[in-house]
Amino acid sequence: MYQIDRQRFGAFVASLRREKGWTQKELAEQLFLSDKAVSKWETGASIPDTALLIPLAELLGVSVTELLLCERAGSPLDASDVEGLVKTAIAYAGDARARAWTQAGRWSLGYAAALLLGGGTLLFGLLSGRLAPDYETAAITLAALGALFGAYFCFFVPLRLPAYYDQNRITAFSDGAFRINVSGLFAFNNRNWPHIVAVGRLSCVLLLALYPALCLLLSALFPAPSRLLAGAAVLVPLLGGLLLPLILAGKKYEA
């Protein structure tokens, strides 16, 4: 079997990091990751996604070959060594994980808390009759959107985009049923993607946690709202609280 020795890999990364004089947090920040991710690599609990091999090797001052071998190369590899390395890389690619659930951390707790708070508030409003009929559909719809997209950003979103996003100007992102298309506003790449993910998580969690409470407040203040107010109660949180922050984050960190 051609497998990465996780303990050896972690020890090698830790040694190279210390040579640079970096903390785990400082290395993680340069890769747009959490320090917990680096900690897991160094303890052998996990290995980085294959998309991180090149930037990780460049930061640590070694080649990808040396990173996979978990040692500095002292001499050229012979044919058998090269074949073993290629097979190790293939096995590594199949073993690496690249979804957010591997590094959910505090976001998993934040999402769970928002789900309990938002869901409980919505249920209270529906059962008590304090949620005015004009706000019921909006409260249910936007809370559901916050729950759905929040689950995606907190647990299922890929941590990095494929390399072709960095090589071309692509203004749409597709991942199964999930779609983002902001043609002309900005292009997706691995410079702005971590910021888009972070903003998406925060926006969805806040929308899920707070929007039902906002609808209860509006029900108390304006139990029979005008069509304009009812529409604003939906569009302002949806556009200003979710879509606009994603666009601003993508545009700001595009280059």
Domain boundaries, the chain: 6-95, 100-252
Where does the pLDDT of residue 121 fall: very low under 50, low under 70, confident under 90, or very high at 90 and above?
very high
Q: What is the pLDDT of residue 208?
A: 95
Per-residue pLDDT, 112: 95
> Which residues lie across from 180 on neighbouring strands?
173
Check residue 181 and give its pLDDT: 80
What value does the mean pLDDT of the chain take?
A: 84
Per-residue pLDDT of 54-93, as tens digits, reads 888 889 998 887 887 788 876 555 555 555 555 555 455 5
DSSP 8-state symbol, 102:
G
pLDDT at residue 64, as a whole number: 81
pLDDT on residue 1: 41
Query: In angstroms, rounded to a whole number, what is the distance separating the alpha carbons of residues 5 and 26?
Result: 24
> How far is Cα 203 from Cα 207, in angstroms, rounded to an integer?
6
Does the domain formed by 6-95 have CATH 1.10.260.40? yes
Condensed to tens digits (0 to 9), the pLDDT of residues 156-203 reads 998 888 766 776 777 888 787 788 887 677 888 888 999 999 999 999
Q: Is the model more confident about 119 or about 174?
A: 119
Of residues 215 and 177, more confidently modeled: 215
Where are the extended beta strands (E) located within 127-251? Answer: 172-175, 178-181
Residue 95 is predicted with a pLDDT of 47
Side-chain half-sphere CA neighbours of 231 within 13 A: 3
Of 67-81, 91-105, 122-136, the one with minimum mean pLDDT is 91-105
